[in-house]
Every structure is written in structure tokens, then in C-alpha cells.
Chains A and B, each alone.
Chain A
Amino acid sequence: MSDSDQPTVLVVEDERALIELYVRWLGDEYDVRTAEGGEEALEKFDGDVDVALLDRLMPGMSGDEVLEAIRERDTDCKVTMVTAVEPDFDVITMGFDDYLTKPVEQETLLETIDRLLSRTEYVDLEQELYALVSKQAALEASKSVEELQKSEEFADLEERIAEVRDRLDETLAGMQDDEFVAMVRELEGDGGDEREGGE
């Protein structure tokens, strides 16, 4: 995140009028950067950008090409594509996290960005859950039931697992199919990443 506490959103759109509209909608809640084309988008893009709103069809460098360049640099940034027609699910495997179809409504835009930001939180929580649960499993495999019942560490562990589960349940309650596909793609992309969460 940048200097302000607000998440940073990069709006990439070749129509000036749409940029102005999006900035008006997003300006209060987010630190908004704008770009009128692909090359400018890559100049404005850095590790501080939390969500990129990317028009798919632009003259010059296309949204797909911008996406590819973003993914080469940073995979944590969430990218939502703006398209003229509703794309097939397949498009999600290209590396987008979500899509919006034109004309984009204010409420939909705000909801989508909100959801993408909460997905970042989700990944951290989920990694913590795995670390906690595998630790619990290791303790269960090596200690007797009596030992576990007396163990304060085990009780703390169980409590923390319950907390993390509750928060994950909240984050995931409204999950739809396109998000499901995007999240699986993302976790598979992390494959072999043995980062430990929590602790």
C-alpha cells in the first residue's frame, strides 16, 4: 500500500470520459491512479497497486498484453478486466481475477474491488489455517489424548483455528463460480511455495 492507508487502484481505460467517471466513483475510498493506454499503465504500475481495472480492448497495447506484463512483475495485484461482452470462464485461466462487462455500474464496480481486496486477506488466512491445522495434526499424531487435554498450547491452537475458520467462512460466504475458478488458479500458481502462515 502507498503513503495513504487507502488501497491503490489503477484504472486503465482509453476513453477519457470513463476514466473521469471511475475516478469520481472510486476517489473517496481508494488512492486512484489512471492510465489512458497500455504503455502508460505499465509506467504507473508498481508493487503498491492492489487492484488494476483493465479495459480489454484498447488501441495499441491490449489489455491482455498489459495483464501479461503485470503478471510477470507482480502476482499479488488483483486484476479485473472490463469487456464489451461477457467472456467465457476460460478467460479466468488467463490470469484475470474477475471481469466486468460494459457499461459498468457504480455499485458493481465498488463491490468487485471490495471483493478482490478481501481475497488478498483470504489467501493469508488460508495459509495460516494450513499451518495451524498441520501443526495440530502433528501433535495429535505424537501425543496421547490425555496429554493433549492437558496441553495449553493445544488449547490455544484449537481456539486460533476456530477464529481463522470463522473469518474465512465470512470471506467466502458469497463465493460464485468465477471466483472459485480464479482462486484455484491462484493457489495452483503458488504451488511449491511453502511459506508458513501464522505464528
Chain B
Amino acid sequence: MSYRVEGFGGTGSFDEGTSLLLTGPPALTDEQLFDVVTPRRGETAVIVTTNTSASRVAEELLDRGAAGDQVGIIDCTSQESDVDDDGVRVRQLGSPGDLTGISLEFAKLLDDEGDDAQVRVGFASVSTALMYTEQQTLFRFLHVFTARISSGGMFGTFAMDPGMHDEQAYNTIRAVFDAESEVADDGVASLRGMGFEG
């Protein structure tokens, strides 16, 4: 099984277990991330958001054709949200720095799905998370998280703005991912790494 996506030079698919890093300014990566994580038929999506309200995440995914019961959101923004219809499951956390909380809510949201469930995982954004967590701790968290995505045959997409970090921090974090895509102003996304078939 694999995960179909659009916007990478046409339609293509990512192998199950792959984790993709989307780089660029948040305004661009957010849109691309919503496109990529919107669940197709028979799939579910879990989005960890640190910078965009749960209401907007839900709205963006539903606008793109997701059904409410396909979507779970782990909201670390501390913003008020009023997503209680459409079956979208929202879990609130106090801070993007609560990594154990994120992993726990993630496990709970997936608890009802079978072992062979097709799950798209979104994380927006690594840059915000880095403001709340030591680089080494976040690196280790992302490594374990992407390993769980891999062992579960899921597909992960993580957004990061390299402009917010020094080159060494960016180069360290990016080493966790299987594939990387740069989102440019004209929306065209370059892609390198493994796990993609055009």
C-alpha cells in the first residue's frame, strides 16, 4: 500500500512508512501540508498543530474533501477552538513542549484503528516545537515518532521553516527524515530523498 499525493510534479505516491520534511515559510508549507495529509477514502489523518488553531485545521481538511470522522487533531496552540461537530476528534494540550502528551494522545487517537490502518500524520510545525524544546530532545522525539510512523506503515509530513534556524540546527533536524521537499513561492515543490514514486 502507498499514499497518493498531488503537487509533486503531478500525481505520485509515497511508500508506507515514509516521513517527509516540507520546508519553506509557514504560509506556503501549511497549504502544502494540508493537501498532503488530507485523508483519501479508507484512510485517517492525525494532525499535530502548534501554530494553527484546530478549527482552521479541521476546516482546511474538510474543505479538501475529508469526512469529519477521518480526522483527529492534537492541538498544542492553547487557542480556543470550537470544533465539536462533524465528528472531528480534537485533543487539547497545554504546550508544544509536552512531547509525552503528544505521543499519548496520538496513541489514543489511533487506538481504535486496526494494525493495518492507513494513516496520514501531519506535524506543523517543527520550527514552533523547537522554540519550546531543546534541539537534542526534539531530534530524539522526531526520531522515535518517525520510527513509529514507519513501524505502523503510516505516512508522515512535517513542516519546518529553515529561515527560522541556523544552518546547523536545520541540517541536524533534517537528518531524521526519509524525504524532503522545498515549497517555493510559486508553489512548485522540489523533492529529494526516498519513498516517492511519480
Q: Do A and B bind each other?
A: yes
Residues of A within 8 A of B (CB): 89-90, 92-93, 126-127, 129-130, 133-134, 136-138, 140-141, 161, 168-169, 172-178, 180-181, 183-185, 187-188, 190-192, 194
B100 near A181: Cβ-Cβ < 8 Å? yes
Nearest CB on B from A144, distance (A): 13
Q: Given A129-B143, A177-B111, A188-B137, are A137 and B172 neighbors across the interface (CB < 8 Å)?
A: yes
Considering the complex, give the chain B residue whose CB is closest to the CB of A178: B107
B172 near A184: Cβ-Cβ < 8 Å? no
- Residue from B100, B110, B151 within 8 A of A188 (CB atoms): B100
Whether B140 sits at the interface, judged by CB under 8 Å, is yes
Considering the complex, give the chain A residue whose CB is closest to the CB of B175: A133
B172 near A133: Cβ-Cβ < 8 Å? yes
A181 near B99: Cβ-Cβ < 8 Å? no
Once the chains are docked, how many angstroms separate the CA of A178 from the CA of B135? 24
Residues of B within 8 A of A (CB): 99-100, 102-104, 106-108, 110-111, 133-137, 139-141, 143-145, 147-148, 150-151, 166-172, 175
- Residue from B102, B139, B151 within 8 A of A130 (CB atoms): B139
Once the chains are docked, how many angstroms separate the CA of A16 from the CA of B107? 36
> Can you report 10 A-B residue pairs in the complex whose CB atoms are below 8 A from each other?
A89-B108, A134-B136, A136-B171, A140-B168, A169-B147, A180-B144, A180-B148, A181-B100, A185-B100, A188-B141
* Interface Cβ pair total, 8 Å cutoff: 99
A136 near B144: Cβ-Cβ < 8 Å? no
Majority SS at the chain A contact face: helix
Once the chains are docked, how many angstroms separate the CA of A144 from the CA of B4? 37
B137 near A187: Cβ-Cβ < 8 Å? yes
Nearest CB on A from B175, distance (A): 4
B111 near A192: Cβ-Cβ < 8 Å? no
A92 near B168: Cβ-Cβ < 8 Å? no
Question: Which chain A positions have C-beta within 8 A of B111?
Answer: 89, 177
- Residue from B108, B135, B140, B147 within 8 A of A175 (CB atoms): B147
A177 near B110: Cβ-Cβ < 8 Å? yes
B136 near A194: Cβ-Cβ < 8 Å? yes
A168 near B168: Cβ-Cβ < 8 Å? no
Once the chains are docked, how many angstroms separate the CA of A185 from the CA of B133? 14
Considering the complex, give the chain B residue whose CB is closest to the CB of A133: B175
Nearest CB on B from A134, distance (A): 5
B139 near A180: Cβ-Cβ < 8 Å? no
Question: Which chain B positions have C-beta within 8 A of A127?
Answer: 140
A181 near B168: Cβ-Cβ < 8 Å? no
A184 near B175: Cβ-Cβ < 8 Å? no
